[in-house]
Every structure is written in C-alpha cells, then in structure tokens.
Chain A
Amino acid sequence: AQSVTQPDIHITVSEGASLELRCNYSYGATPYLFWYVQSPGQGLQLLLKYFSGDTLVQGIKGFEAEFKRSQSSFNLRKPSVHWSDAAEYFCAVGPFYGNKLVFGAGTILRVKS
C-alpha cells in the first residue's frame, strides 16, 4: 500500500545546529514528493517539492531535500536551524488518483537556545 513514514515524532535541536528530518515512502512509480511546514494555529506552507530532474531540491527558508530512489527516502535538511523553524513538518507523496497526496504523520521540531 502507498504510504509515507516519518519515523521521528519529535526532534529537538539547538539553535545553530544542523537538522535532518526523515521521510520514507512507498509508491509504485516515480513519485511527486513534498515537504510542508505547519506553525501552531496555521495551515500548511510548502517548503519544497520534487517532481523530476536534479535529486537535490532547494526550498524556501534555507531548506533542502534529497530524493534517494534506492532508499525510497526524501529527507529534509537545513545546515543551521533558527528558533523560528520550530514547527511541525509534513512529508507528502503523490500523485494518486485525481492528483491526491498522502501525508505522513508529521515531525515536531523543537529548537532550544
């Protein structure tokens, strides 16, 4: 079955430290992959997306993600975390029937000063 797994429910990093959030997916073909961020009380904001081409994708706010087909992964990275990055991050995969996306359960990022 098609699915998305985000193994880490919570991650805490120090401000200025590097960050990697994991995402593994199950999909029968070359997927579309997305990372969204959700701040408390807000909707989801698109950070970056992968459709095809270069497997290293740059996004907004200094984030990047790498598509690794052999590992069925699309991990999100940032070299230096800021306190304002504290939020919940969702990985999504598609398209399914009608361009539908399936979302992971999310990873909550806490940033300590």
Chain B
Amino acid sequence: EAGVAQSPRYKIIEKRQSVAFWCNPISGHATLYWYQQILGQGPKLLIQFQNNGVVDDSQLPKDRFSAERLKGVDSTLKIQPAKLEDSAVYLCASEGKADTQYFGPGTRLTVL
C-alpha cells in the first residue's frame, strides 16, 4: 500500500511570494490533515478535511493560508503572501477507519 505523498520536498522563497504544497493521501482515506511543524516544536494542526469538506480550520491563518481538497482525494495548501515566520515543515496526514493518522514526508519551506 502506497503511503501519503507530498511535493515538493523542499521550497525556498522570498517573503511576500506565494507557494503551494500538494498532498496525495493513502487510497480510501476520507480524512486529510495539514500540519505546520516549526523547528523544535511538535506538529500543529492547520486544517482537517473529511472527504472534500472542512471539519476544522480554526488554527489556519485565513488571511494568508488557504487549502482545498477537490473531489475528496488530493489536497493543496497555499500561502500568499508568505512571511518569515511561515518557515516550517508542512506535514500532510491521512486517516482511514482505524482512527490512526499516517504522515507524509513533509515539505520543508524556507522563507528568506
């Protein structure tokens, strides 16, 4: 069974630029999560999808971050415009019926 796929693995941008990350969850997993992991901290949830609907986006900075999950499979997370404090690893996780989240390798974003 293929795991959670994410791309790109690394991205370097300048502040005020925009960036997008892509996630392909494990086949059949209805729930998808995006996390932000700042260096030295644990992952912090940004947004949770159930199929193509948003369950929880209470911690998503909506003035600059957006996410979508069209057709209930792949998802994209966008930042526009990026700030220095957005430098972090962005992790995608998916969950099936076993109440267990499986994580992708993450995208490391550096904002200069």
Contact = CB atoms under 8 A, between A and B. Distances in A.
Contact of A36 (B45, B48, B103): B103
A105 B41 CA distance: 5
A97 B6 CA distance: 25
Interface residues of A, number: 24
Interface of B is mostly: strand
Contact of A51 (B45, B48, B99): B99
Nearest to A97: B56
A74 to B, nearest CB: 15
Contact of A42 (B31, B40, B106): B106
Contact of A103 (B42, B55, B99): B42
A95 B43 contact: no
Nearest to B95: A99
Interface residues on B, range: 20 to 34
A95 B91 contact: no
Q: Name the residue among A42, A44, A49, A92 with the largest chain B CB count within 10 angstroms.
A: A44
Q: Name the residue among A4, A42, A46, A98 with the largest chain B CB count within 10 angstroms.
A: A98
A103 B37 CA distance: 10
Contacts of A95: 99
B102 interface: yes
Interface string B78-108: 0000000000000101010001111111101
A67 interface: no
A103 B4 CA distance: 19
Given A43-B4, A44-B91, A106 B105 contact: no
B91 A100 contact: no
A44 B103 CA distance: 6
